[in-house]
Amino acid sequence: MTRTAFFISDGTGITAESLGRSLLAQFENVEIRMITKPYIDSVEKAHQLASIIESTAVKDGEQPIIIDTIVDSEIRDVIREAPGFKVDIFSTFLEPLEQELATHSSYSVGRTHAIGSDDVYMDRIQSVHFALDNDDGARTHQYDQADIILVGVSRCGKTPSSLYLALQFGIRAANYPLTEDDLDETGKLKLPPVLEPHRHKLFGLTIDPRRLAAIRHERRPNSRYSSMDQCVQEVTQAEALYRRMHIPFIDTTRFSVEEISTRMIAETGINRRFSPR
């Protein structure tokens, strides 16, 4: 079965899409084509979209699913006339909250993802800059300013996780690659000296060697770097180091960057500078 879902907003559409994807992910037996329509902020745009929804219903032979966070009641009324199963997030939740809080909502467009305060915005920018400056062991003299230092073999997810922690939570995350240069005389992976003073900040990432080989093959096909033997060896040594040094770690193979980052925060208890937008 294939259905079409529209995520509609008069703002960025991030809230409608995030909630919509979370809800629809529970229906594994249904193939859903997801379409996000942000900035439907005029009656004219609403009418144009309503026509698209109507033609989609005819083409699919099934009414689309419509998940919206539209604030303007006039625009919302136009969308309501379109054929579809509607999940109106704001009217569903705001009206009961108004009753509970005994006050009216401001019904302002884009408040969730607005910059808010200058301090929060600057924290976000500075954290992203920190992650970029301290990516892949490029710099190490700023590790005393880091909230967390991700370690792991090449291509296991350190960089995207660092950037997500910075952008979503304002966490200053550095990351350091474990390589053959860090092997001791017995062939075991040792903790690089630059990381020793910051052991309490370390968090390890690991990955299934088969997945790692596939990722590396896209970057350097048919190389020693992407060979299965090399990937197995590096992952095995990294995990042995984590256990030997009591470094907490997570397997990134089947987790999204959102899940990886949230699990790290939960396990370490690290403080967020702000909540995700």
Residue list for the binding site for ADP: 152-159
For 109, 184, 201, 213, 239, the CA distances from 250, given in Å and listed in that order, are 38, 24, 15, 18, 10
Measured CA to CA, the distance from residue 22 to residue 89 in angstroms comes to: 13
DSSP symbol at 8 = E
Query: Which of 175, 86, 186, 182 has the alpha carbon at shortest distance from 134?
Result: 175
Closest-CA residue to 64 (of 79, 77, 75, 48): 79
| Phi and psi, residue 43, nearest 5° | -65, -35
% helix, strand, coil for the chain, step of 5: 50, 15, 35
| Annotated binding-site ranges | 152-159
Secondary structure of 83-138 as H, E, C letters: CCEEEEHHHHHHHHHHHHHCCCCCCCCCCCCCCCCHHHHHHHHHHHHHHHHCHHHC
Q: What gap in Å lies between CA 123 and CA 120, rounded to an integer?
A: 5
Neighbours of 266 (CB within 10 A): 9
The burial of 38, by beta-carbon neighbours within 10 Å (0-12 exposed, 13-18 middle, 19 or more buried), is given as middle
Residue 238 and residue 153 in contact, taking contact as beta carbons nearer than 8 Å: yes
